[in-house]
Amino acid sequence: MMPLLLCVILLTGCASTNLNNAERLIERHPVGFGDAVNASQESETFVLDALKTVNRLEAVIERQ
């Protein structure tokens, strides 16, 4: 009974993993983020695409 309960707790914890690395990066480096976005239209496009890529990959990981 105890091993089964432990497995359920561990699997539940894995299933509820929520990754927010894009948000974490922006919060940790607000000046760098602002500089990267404001450098040019191309840099803004790159930064937004990179963050969306991180979010999509995290969604794949979270579904597993």
Residue type, 61: I
Structural domain for 22, as ranges: 18-63
Q: How many CA atoms, within 13 angstroms, populate the side-chain half-sphere of residue 60?
A: 5
Q: Is 3 within the bounds of a domain? A: no
pLDDT at 35: 93
Of residues 44 and 1, the one with the higher pLDDT is: 44
Q: Is 37 within the bounds of a domain? A: yes
| Measured CA angle at 26 (ends 50, 48), to 5 deg | 25
Q: Is 45 within the bounds of a domain? A: yes
Split into its structural domains, the chain has a count of: 1
Q: Mention every residue, 6+ apart, whose C-beta is less than 8 A from residue 48.
A: 37
Give the percent of the chain with pLDDT over 90. Answer: 62
Residue 47, number of CB atoms within 10 A of its CB:
19
Q: Is 49 within the bounds of a domain? A: yes
Q: Is 48 within the bounds of a domain? A: yes
